[in-house]
Homo-oligomer: A and B are copies of this chain.
Amino acid sequence: MDVNGTPYRSIWLAKNGWQVDIIDQTRLPHEFVVARLSTLAQAATAIRDMLVRGAPLIGATAAYGFCLGLREKADDAELGKIADTLVDCRPTAVNLRWAVQRMLAVLTPLPRSARVSTAYKEAAAICEEDVVTNKAIGRHGAGLLQDIWKKKGQHGPVNILTHCNAGWLATVDWGTALAPVFRAHSDGIPVHVWVDETRPRNQGAHLTAWELVSAGIDHHLIVDNAGGHLMQHGEVDICIVGTDRTAASGDVCNKIGTYLKALAAFDNKVPFYVALPGSTIDWQVTNGVGEIPIEERDSEEVLVVRGLHDDKIEGVRIAPADTPAGNPAFDVTPARLVTGLITERGVCPASRRGLSSLYPKRENDA
């Protein structure tokens, strides 16, 4: 997507052909900084410290991290070590594991000498496929927005509520939940987005709002508490969120607080859609709430809020010094609350049957 008139992706190969450039997402929206990754350790840190985040982008970064690791050492023992290093960075998003397993499957049979160049090709393929996938998600999702606009008699904008950031910064390009919004906007459908702040880390306020400002799309920031009230008063036409792991049953694991919005949508008969690439489906999980591991992150993310003060990015402590904090990073929304899943292959019900209808082969592999 364009940033001040220049097209960007969230991750790309440096001109020297081996280092990897990313947008440091911990500095947005206040500073646009490109960070360069040269080692596996740097890639792992970028994932762990959330310079990159979003399930698809984590997968892409892991793929390039694999390349950087192999440049250091490419023997058989190293393959497993690199894989473990990357998978251990973050436990919840399944794309990390998916990308690492895909790299392993391609690289393990190869002689050591061929591994590095093939790894770079595979990482590039993962990125290119992600862009194609997300464009397709955008096309399918924009159809839903168009239907709502027609139902509203083409009066007023379509009001979309989204939680966290599942925009282009969460993927290689286009995004998942925001791809339909970008597509509808470019198709001339008037859209307005309610942007959940998304505490902690504020990916809504920091990243989604920044993407929408950049794209010239009408939006309002709201606190995470506000969505239910807006739905009670008819101010939300549709919710669209992303997912970090989708159970085979259709349960979706996404940024903490997604479940609360799904409950409110259900209570107010507002359609609640989840946008995802097939790579976020975990065919082995049948009960999302019970089986998906939920990352508990550092309590400082809750206790300190970062933002701009006097033109510098600073953190302010919001609680008494003696107050501890809990910080589960994700929650699981049961499939019964999800109206449908928007995938690159079309829209389906949030159920095993729905997913199997679009991904018959993958299920058999599981």
Partner-B contacts on A (CB < 8 A): 29, 194-195, 197-200, 202, 205-206, 209-210, 212-213, 219-230, 232-233, 255-257, 259-261, 263-264, 267, 289, 294, 302-309, 314-320, 322-328, 330-332
Contact = CB atoms under 8 A, between A and B. Distances in A.
Q: Which 10 A-B pairs have the closest CB atoms?
A: A225-B257, A307-B316, A229-B331, A263-B263, A199-B223, A29-B320, A307-B318, A209-B323, A221-B325, A260-B260
B264 A213 contact: no
B199 A331 contact: no
20 contacts: A195-B323, A197-B318, A199-B225, A205-B318, A206-B318, A206-B319, A210-B323, A221-B302, A221-B303, A224-B224, A225-B255, A226-B328, A229-B259, A229-B330, A259-B264, A305-B305, A307-B318, A309-B317, A314-B316, A315-B316
Nearest to A204: B319
Contacts of A259: 228-229, 232, 264
A209 to B, nearest CB: 4
**Interface-centre pick from A199, A213, A303 (highest chain B CB count, 10 A):** A199
**Interface-centre pick from A222, A259, A260 (highest chain B CB count, 10 A):** A260
A314 to B, nearest CB: 6
Chain A interface SS verdict (over half): mixed
A209 B320 contact: yes
Contacts of A320: 29, 209-210, 213
A319 B263 contact: no
A282 to B, nearest CB: 18
**Interface-centre pick from A202, A221, A225, A302 (highest chain B CB count, 10 A):** A225
B205 A319 contact: yes
Contacts of A257: 223-226, 228
Contacts of A198: 225
B227 A302 contact: no
A137 to B, nearest CB: 24
Given A223-B302, A316-B308, A331 B232 contact: yes
Contact of A229 (B29, B294, B302, B316): B294
A324 B256 contact: no
A284 B351 CA distance: 45
